[in-house]
Amino acid sequence: MADIFSKEKRSAVMAAVRPRGNKDTELKLVAILRRHGITGWRRHRPLPGKPDFIFPQARLAGFVDGCFWHGCPKHCRMPATNVPYWRRKVARNRERDRAVNRMIRGLGWQIMRIWEHSLRSDVLVAKRIRMRLSCPAGAGKLARKKSG
């Protein structure tokens, strides 16, 4: 479908849009945590990259990554216009995610990244969080290395 605005007008319209962050996805995760009785979490604590939630006792920092902005392999669909710009944008976001992961791990914390689309299955998200809370930092990595 053709855009009803000229390229210049579309650019002005998009520039006027102010981000809301990922508040909707964060609130979905909060609802999942509460519905499944998962406790011990906090929101918006000062760690690199500003995790969406943390579990201080387990030293687990969690991020809910939007499928478009973080380049979900299943659901990220690039816009039809200005493709090189959007590819670079998403690639920079992913590189920043990796850098943030390294910084937080360097502080002795575990990282958990949850794709936005996975919030549709709150049972699986809750199960995954509980599993991460029940195993010590790095245990999953060791198990994967031994089997692979």
How many domains are there within the chain?
1
pTM of the model: 0.73
First to last CA, the chain: 47
Instruction: Determine, yes or no, domain membership for 147.
Output: no
CA distance 38 to 55: 10
- Please report, in tens digits, the pLDDT of each residue of the chain (148 residues total): 567 888 888 778 777 765 555 678 888 999 999 999 999 999 978 899 999 999 999 999 999 988 887 888 888 777 778 888 888 988 899 999 999 999 999 999 999 999 999 999 999 999 999 999 987 655 544 333 333 3
Instruction: Determine, yes or no, domain membership for 130.
Output: yes
Those residues with Cβ within 8 angstroms of residue 101's Cβ, 6 or more apart along the chain or in another chain: 111, 113
Domain range enclosing 79: 20-134
Instruction: Determine, yes or no, domain membership for 12.
Output: no
CATH of the domain at 49: 3.40.960.10
